[in-house]
Amino acid sequence: MRVTDWTTERRPTRQIHVGDVAVGGDAPVTVQSMTITKTADVEGTLQQIYGLAAAGCDIVRCTCNETEAAEGLAQIVPRSPVPIIADIHHQYKMALAAMEAGVHGLRLNPGNIRRPEHIKAVATEARDRGIPIRIGVNAGSLDPSLYEKYGGATPEAMVESAEREIAYFSEVDFDLIKISVKASSVPLMVEAYRQLAEVTDHPLHLGVTEAGPPPAGLLKATAGIATLLMEGIGDTIRYSLTADPVEEARAGRQLLEALGLRERKNIDLIACPSCGRAEIDVIDVAKRAMEAFGDREIPLQVAVMGCVVNGPGEAREADLGIAAGNQRGHLFVRGRNIAVVPESEMVESLVEWAEFIHEHGIDAAIERADTAKAEREAAKDRSALLAAQGDDANQAGERIVEIRRTVGG
């Protein structure tokens, strides 16, 4: 995958480590998610953690809401392929137990662990163990005094909540901190993070909380997270979806790849929106191609185009693509025709050539091909299609004539 020369300048932040994963500073933006199993179910939780890691998740959070959960963490942490963060609410002793279990980080909600002595006890232990803490401010669970002071959940109230927690941590010389100020309202969340970025250089964890099920939840989360990332704000992210958490990890990874903030891990499949010239059901072929590639780690841009007339040209920047024409599939690499296959073998051929390119490179693929023959066949099918459908497959020209006649008359 060729990355564009244009990149967003990221906001400078301190760097911390969650296990062996760097967060902040010059480290890549990381992807997080959270298990939805009971943490006491060690095998079930580990199975989900491995699924998340395979989907591109860098850090996983598990709830620690009872003694059995802390005991489960003691067995989960040493077997996990990624660092584990314990999610703590209300009971500060669960934070102490989670650290004893060996977790790599904590998430505390300052809205429900409010006694200064409890906050400082956790921070002191985390300081001594070198364990980072995320201050997880949530618009729906602020300290009641902040709701009263600001008249509700406002960006200012959320930022002050984070600053209060930082002050408690400072009293015991603890600064391994990252911060989130999440809300289910995208405008509220975006403004809270913007204000927070003005007053601290601690790394920020981005998310739209309770975004809901896909596709609406994906849109909400992307609207908030992508807006901030494009402004250079954010060091680690989570999609909070009402769905299998593996969907969260995939979405996070795909967003970072789309923004050029992480190297591509799997294919980037592009497809034309279809038109009157399309020789195939583009939606069906694109869907089958995505299923065929599955979780194969082939970091290429792959195109599925509906016709051979414009397909190779429109997708000339793709590493590999296929276009339909005259019941055949025309494979192309960086806009050059390389092979012709039966329409029924289009998807299988895409995968085969993608694997070859991934292993041997673009030049080797072009060298392997009989490009002269492929280009002759593509030209033949283009001519046949143009002869049958003309240059204006959607009959836009006829409509324009009628529009001009209507307006002129």
Please tell me whether residues 249 and 311 are part of one structural domain: no
Please tell me whether residues 106 and 239 are part of one structural domain: yes
Q: Does residue 102 register a pLDDT over 80?
A: yes
Q: What is the pLDDT of residue 382?
A: 75
202 vs 215: CA distance, rounded Å: 32
For a pLDDT cut of 70, what percent of the chain falls above it? 94
Mean pLDDT of 122-147: 96
- The model's pTM is 0.83
Please indicate, yes or no, if residue 183 is contained in any of the structural domains: yes
Q: What is the pLDDT of residue 399?
A: 72
Residue 235: domain span:
15-258
Q: Which of 1-15, 180-194, 298-312, 338-352 has the lowest mean pLDDT?
A: 1-15
Q: What is the 3-state secondary structure (H, E, C) of the chain?
A: CCCCCCCCCCCCCCEEEECCEEEECCCCCEEEEECCCCCCCHHHHHHHHHHHHHCCCCEEEEECCCHHHHHHHHHHHHHCCCCEEEEECCCHHHHHHHHHHCCCEEEECCCCCCCHHHHHHHHHHHHHHCCCEEEEEEHHHCCHHHHHHHCCCCHHHHHHHHHHHHHHHHHCCCCCEEEEEEECCHHHHHHHHHHHHHHCCCCEEECECCCECCCHHHHHHHHHHHHHHHCCCCCEEECCECCCHHHHHHHHHHHHHHCCCCCCCCCEEEECCCCCCCCCCHHHHHHHHHHHHCCCCCCCEEEEECCCCCHHHHCCCCCEEEEEECCEEEEEECCEEEEEEEHHHHHHHHHHHHHHHHHHCHHHHHHHCCHHHHHHHHHHHHHHHHHHHCCCCCCHHHHHHHHHHHHHC
178 vs 126: CA distance, rounded Å: 13
Pairing of strands 328-333, 320-325: antiparallel
Q: What is the pLDDT of residue 82?
A: 96
Please tell me whether residues 191 and 308 are part of one structural domain: no
Please indicate, yes or no, if residue 63 is contained in any of the structural domains: yes
Q: What is the pLDDT of residue 276?
A: 66
Residue of 159, 145, 90 whose CA lies nearest to 122: 90
Please tell me whether residues 72 and 208 are part of one structural domain: yes
Please indicate, yes or no, if residue 124 is contained in any of the structural domains: yes
Binning pLDDT at 50, 70 and 90, where does residue 388 land? confident
Number of domains observed in the structure of the chain: 2
Please tell me whether residues 37 and 99 are part of one structural domain: yes
Any bridge partners for residue 108, and if so which? 88, 135
Please tell me whether residues 77 and 184 are part of one structural domain: yes
Which tokens in the block code for residue 226? 């992508």
Residue of 248, 247, 289, 239 whose CA lies nearest to 267: 289
Please tell me whether residues 41 and 160 are part of one structural domain: yes
Tell me the CATH number at 101.
3.20.20.20
Q: What is the pLDDT of residue 316?
A: 75
Mean pLDDT across the chain: 90
Please tell me whether residues 245 and 349 are part of one structural domain: no
Enumerate residues 6+ apart whose C-beta is below 8 A from 70. 64, 86, 94, 97, 98, 100, 101
Give tens-digit pLDDT for 142-175. 999 999 999 999 999 999 999 999 999 999 999 9
Give tens-digit pLDDT for 46-100. 999 999 998 899 999 999 999 999 999 999 999 999 999 999 999 999 999 999 9
Mean pLDDT of 382-399: 71
The CA dihedral of 207, 45, 95, 182, to the nearest 10 degrees, is 10
